[in-house]
Amino acid sequence: MQKLELDEIDRVATYLTKIPGIGFKSAKRYAIWLGEHKTETSRLTEALKSLIENVTTCRKCFNLTTSKDGLCEICKNPERDASTICVVQSIENLVEIEQSNVYNGLYFVLGGVISPLYNTEHIIKRIEYLKRRVKEEHIREVILVLSSTTEGDLTVHYIKETLKGSDVKISKVASGIPVGTDINYVDKRTLAEALRSRVYI
């Protein structure tokens, strides 16, 4: 009797569910497609290998980079305004702001927001690192682009407290992003507008 469940498919599907937004049902559909399309799957494997070998996280802002010195193109660009840091939740948010062409400073990717429900120690550590950057690089303004959620607000508060005593202005995006919105779902134009109309806190 032919086996209907293939371990190979399930194993790939299980890995795919690690990607945010992919449930097991979709993951299984993708895994089956990959099983059916060997040429595409081989190319994907090559692309993934290259990604693993060449892509690293920028040691200053946590953006992705292929640069051997560990600094991304934005951090290395002398034409950027090196006195301003925009704090974003994710690399996707950084990309969106870059595409909107309204910002010319540097970035800092937090990798999420502080939550009382989960272990967010890694974010606390990044905020400590942000504090060091503000001091060492003589940053004049930190712009916070975080979700307008309870956890986003908590993070804003925490960053403000951490940077207290540093000679830096702190602003956050105000209008345009409805309360309770996850920043990851805000469109480009709204984000650009929100950035322009930021308020100092």
The binding site for Zn ion (CB under 5 A) comprises 58, 60-61, 63, 72, 75
Judged by CB, which is closer to Zn ion: 58, or 110?
58
Which residue lies nearer to Zn ion by CB, 27 or 58? 58
Nearer to Zn ion, 58 or 163 (CB): 58
Closest to Zn ion by CB, 26 vs 67, is 67
Neighbouring CB atoms inside 10 A of 120's CB total: 21
CB 88 to Zn ion: min, Å:
12
Question: Residue 96 Cβ, how far from Zn ion at the closest point, in Å?
Answer: 16
User: How many Å apart are CA 184 and CA 140, to the nearest integer?
Assistant: 26
In angstroms, the CA 83 to CA 104 distance is 10
The answer to whether the CB of 173 falls within 8 A of the CB of 198 is yes
Q: Provide the 8-state DSSP code for 67.
A: -
Minimum CB separation of residue 65 from Zn ion in Å reads 7
Shortest distance in whole angstroms from residue 105 CB to Zn ion = 12
Q: Give a three-class secondary structure readout of 82-144.
A: EEEEEEECCHHHHHHHHHHCCCCEEEEECCCCCCCCCCCHHHHHHHHHHHHHHHHCCCCEEEE
- Least distance to Zn ion from the beta carbon of 94, Å? 9
Q: Which is nearer to Zn ion, 63 or 148 (CB)?
A: 63
Nearest to 129 by CA among 99, 179, 85: 85
Which residue, among 57, 121, 109, has the nearest Cα to 85 in the 3D structure? 109
